[in-house]
A and B are shown apart, each in its own frame.
Chain A
Amino acid sequence: MNHNEYLPFRSEIKEVMKHTDIEYTFRMAYEGDVKPGQFFEVSIPKFGEAPISVSGIREDSVDLTIRRVGTVTGEIFERYQGDSLFLRGPYGNGFDVENYRGKELLVIAGGTGLSPVKAVVDYFSDHIEETNGMTLVAGFKTPKDILFLEDFGKWKQAMEVILTVDCADDDTACQIGLVTQYIPGLKLKNKEETTAIVVGPPAMMRFTTQGLLDIGLKEENIWISHERKMCCGIGKCGHCKIDDTYVCLDGPVFPYTKGRKLLD
Chain B
Amino acid sequence: MGYLLGLKEINEVLRQWNKNFVIYAPKLIPDGGAFSDTDSVHYGEVTSIEEIVFDRKSDFSFKEILLPISETLFYFTEDSVMEPATPEKQAIIFLRSCDLHAVKRLDTMYLHNGAEDHYYKRLRDRVKFILMGCKESYESCFCVDMETNRSDDYHASMDLSEEGVRIDNKNPEWDELLTANCTKQADVTPSYVTETETRVNIPKSLSLDIMKSTMWNQYDSRCIGCGRCNFVCPTCTCFTMQDVFYTDNGKTGERRRVWASCMTDGFTDVAGGGSYRKNNGQRMRFKVLHKVYDYKKRNGIHMCVGCGRCDDVCPEYISFSHCINQLENGMKEVTEHES
Chain A residues close to B by CB (< 8 Å): 2-8, 10, 43, 45-50, 67, 69-70, 73, 86, 227-229, 231-232, 234-239, 241, 243-244, 246, 248-249, 261, 263-264
Contact = CB atoms under 8 A, between A and B. Distances in A.
B290 interface: yes
A5 B115 contact: yes
Contacts of A227: 270-271
A47 B238 CA distance: 20
Contact of A2 (B116, B241, B243, B286): B116
Contact of A264 (B119, B277, B297): B277
A90 B81 CA distance: 19
Interface stretch (B9-17, B130-138, B193-201, B260-268): B260-268
Interface string B218-247: 000000000000000000011111110100
A206 to B, nearest CB: 14
Interface in B57-111: 73-74, 76, 79, 81, 83, 109-110
Interface residues of B, number: 49
A229 B211 contact: no
Contacts of A264: 268, 276-277, 286
Nearest to B242: A48
Given A46-B253, A70-B271, A236-B113, A241 B243 contact: no
Given A3-B118, A47-B243, A244 B271 contact: no
Contact of A45 (B114, B243, B268, B276): B243
Contact of B118 (A5, A10, A45, A48): A5
Contact of A4 (B83, B240, B260, B286): B83
B272 interface: yes
B126 interface: no
Nearest to A261: B208
B295 A244 contact: yes
Contact of B208 (A70, A243, A248): A243
Interface of B: 73-74, 76, 79, 81, 83, 109-110, 113-119, 121-122, 208, 211, 237-243, 245, 250, 253, 255, 257, 260, 262, 267-273, 276-277, 286, 289-290, 294-295, 297-298
Max chain B Cβ within 10 angstroms of own Cβ: one of A45, A48, A227:
A45
Contacts of A4: 83, 118-119
Contacts of B260: 231, 237-239
Given A237-B240, A263-B208, 10 more contacts: A2-B122, A3-B116, A5-B115, A7-B73, A45-B245, A47-B243, A236-B237, A236-B239, A241-B294, A243-B208
Max chain B Cβ within 10 angstroms of own Cβ: one of A50, A70, A238:
A238
Contacts of B289: 243
A67 B271 contact: yes
B103 to A, nearest CB: 16
A130 B208 CA distance: 40
Contact of A241 (B74, B241, B290): B290
A67 B298 CA distance: 34
A227 B273 CA distance: 13
Contacts of A48: 241-243, 255
B268 A239 contact: yes
A45 B208 contact: no
B34 to A, nearest CB: 26
